[in-house]
Chains A and B, each alone.
Chain A
Amino acid sequence: MIAPIQATGLGKRFGRTWALRDCSIRIPAGKIAGLVGPNGAGKTTFLHLVAGLLAPTTGEVTVFGRSPRSQLLLLLDRVGFVAQDTPLYTSFTVADMLRFGRRLNSRWDQASAEQRLRGLNIPFDRRIGHLSGGQRSQVGLALALGKRPELLLLDEPVARLDPLARREFMQGLTEAVAEDGISVLLSSHVIGDLERVCDYLIIITEGRVQVTGEIEELLAAHHLLVGPRIHESVRPPDVEVIKASHTERQSSLWVRGRPPHMPEGWREQPVSLEELVITYLSTPGAAALPRPELEEVSA
């Protein structure tokens, strides 16, 4: 199966600044992948490279095995993209926006786009400029889903929405994806949202990929070990310590892997997704990437 997105050594430089560096990612088909990282980490750059809006400086990215630059025509109908802040024509009505989608996309599904927006009680004769932020995001999503994409790219789709609109948006997204088996890559810095909908995680910091993997596997592989205070230089065997913090009496170690046996006085706790993300984001040097040989086998 050809991966929806495969990046190898992908890099993008703007002037003297590298927005993205040496990025190698393979996103599996039929999953909702979350792209997480602080502002300015390179999430938008990565999405723009995948959507064919930008050309890479180094390396390459393929979408369903094709280059978004030289073979864009073959991909435009298959990839739905909602850019940051959901750009739409503010003077168009909702119906105009759907007509725009119908006119420009050969596989357009008018009925399902209409049904989606009707279900959300979005008035078709209202101008985009007069919609609420949540409604606007929903129109953007309906437009991207209406073209019946095989890959959907969403750049911070819920960043400006209130919690209720966020939940509605994510719910709509999950339902649509479950129905059509679309692969999704969505960026966000709201980890709570990702936890509910995503099954694959990519963490980017300072233009580099730090973590990629199935969320379930990542959660199963990471643990928090809490025990009596140990010296800072002490490293438990057979695990990789991502982060350690020490109080006067107690040491906490966020580790990848599982020690074969727990020493006296230590206990193991599961790590939540939010904790996992924050642990990695606060230690930019740490990484959890699939080993190259595994990559080859699965490819």
Chain B
Amino acid sequence: MSWVTWKQHRLEGAWALSIGTVLAAAIAYVAYQLHLAACPDAVNAYCFTGDLGGQIAQQLANFNLYTYGLAVLPALAGAFIGCPMVAREVENGTHRLAWTQGVTRLRWLVTKIVLVFVPVMAIAAVAGALEVVLINQLGSNPNRWNWFDQQAPVTVAATLFALSLGLFVGAVMGRSIPAMAVTLVAFVIVRIGLAELGRPHYLAPLAYTTHDMSNFNSPPQVYPGAWWVDYASFYDSAGHMVSNAGSANGAYATNVTYAIQHFQPADRFWTFQGIESGILVGLSAILIGFAIYWVTRRVS
């Protein structure tokens, strides 16, 4: 069964490995150049040496390809690798060949899942870990929250989720191309929905309150590396909200006496990575379970 999986999926594997290698190399190179430049504690800012190597790294950093790549590539893996795993067989009728050999459908599918998913997740792990290293070069207090989706372990969990989603949708629809479209849309909805609606509330945000309106800036620099999850709200002496738009105009309004803004502190970053990874892994387990049910019970 492992030879069959290798024979059928090595092309996708080669693609994943090539793209993953280019991506990892770009991240590693930028990280190395940042290390050479030995940035001062300039939070979230890139700095490079003036020589050619530094300039190339600057171009790469400006281009931001690896930042987008780490967020987008899991979705593509789900569509191009996950979807065809079952759908292509059903499309070509070859599932009736594969499932009448001396191997049960369960073993057939589980072998494929393990042998296809694990290498792709390993590539995502390498790229995500290198991104962690890169961010470590951005001074002593880099704001990791700005690259939440690009760091391991979330890159790995997101890749697993995309592959599981693709596998499930492909198995149910039985046609690769429509399954790819559905997978891409569903992946984007889940990832954005989770980032916008779930992530700020994994743990109750802390509140920062200040009465010093003369020196107010938004977001405040008081907690370095923090993720400010909302805009500042401004209140008058009676406790009524004057503005929650976070605009400085509110601060200068004569009746404002204090401001509140909510944040997740820097030291929660890895907890949040763990929580989001856990959610994605849980969703993946459900999708894989449904895919196995569908393949062993429903498709014919």
Which A residues lie at the B interface, using CB under 8 A? Answer: 48, 51-55, 72-73, 76-77, 79-81, 83-85, 87-90, 92, 96, 99-101, 103-107, 143, 147
Contact = CB atoms under 8 A, between A and B. Distances in A.
Interface stretch (B30-38, B50-58, B90-98, B158-166): B90-98
Contacts of B92: 87, 89-90
B114 interface: no
Given A48-B300, A87-B93, A87-B94, A96 B7 contact: yes
Contact of A83 (B97, B103, B104): B97
Q: Top 7 A-B pairs ranked by shortest CB distance?
A: A104-B101, A83-B96, A87-B93, A81-B100, A105-B102, A77-B102, A53-B300
B265 to A, nearest CB: 54
B118 interface: no
Given A48-B300, A76-B104, A147-B102, A87 B3 contact: no
A104 B300 contact: no
24 contacts: A48-B300, A53-B96, A53-B99, A55-B297, A76-B100, A76-B102, A79-B100, A80-B100, A81-B96, A83-B93, A87-B92, A87-B93, A87-B94, A88-B94, A89-B8, A89-B92, A89-B94, A103-B4, A104-B1, A104-B4, A104-B102, A104-B103, A105-B101, A105-B102
Contacts of B99: 53
B97 A88 contact: yes
A117 B6 CA distance: 25
Contacts, number: 64
Nearest to B11: A91
A142 to B, nearest CB: 13
Given A51-B96, A89-B8, 16 more contacts: A48-B300, A72-B104, A76-B100, A76-B101, A76-B102, A76-B104, A79-B100, A81-B96, A83-B96, A83-B97, A84-B93, A88-B94, A89-B94, A99-B3, A104-B102, A105-B102
A106 B8 contact: no
Contacts of B100: 51-53, 76, 79-81, 83
